[in-house]
Amino acid sequence: MKKIDLHGKNYEESEIIVSTFIENNLNNLPIKIITGNSINMKRIVIKSVKNYNLSCNYQNHHNLGALIITNKY
């Protein structure tokens, strides 16, 4: 599974990085985006996911700092 880590990125550049990463991997889903615990960073990812009509969930209930992006079923 391809992944990116947004640690150390600001919100503005993260919007571009996330959108580009999703777009470049639409045929390689699922993908993983590591946000850390930042609520604002998670919002950025969720917004991009919705723009591409995809779905996302936390990696698991122990790791709320990573989102897995998949197709909507």
Sheet of strand 54-60: strand arrangement = 2-5, 31-34, 63-71, 54-60
Number of structural domains found in the chain: 1
The pLDDT of residue 73 is: 67
The pLDDT of residue 63 is: 85
State the angle between helix axes of 11-24 and 39-51 in degrees (0 to 180), rounded to the nearest 10: 40
Which residue range is the domain that position 27 belongs to? Answer: 2-71
Q: 28-40, pLDDT tens digit by residue?
A: 999 999 999 999 9
CATH number at residue 22: 3.30.1370.110
The pLDDT of residue 62 is: 87
Which stretches of the chain drop beneath a pLDDT of 70?
73
The pLDDT of residue 57 is: 95
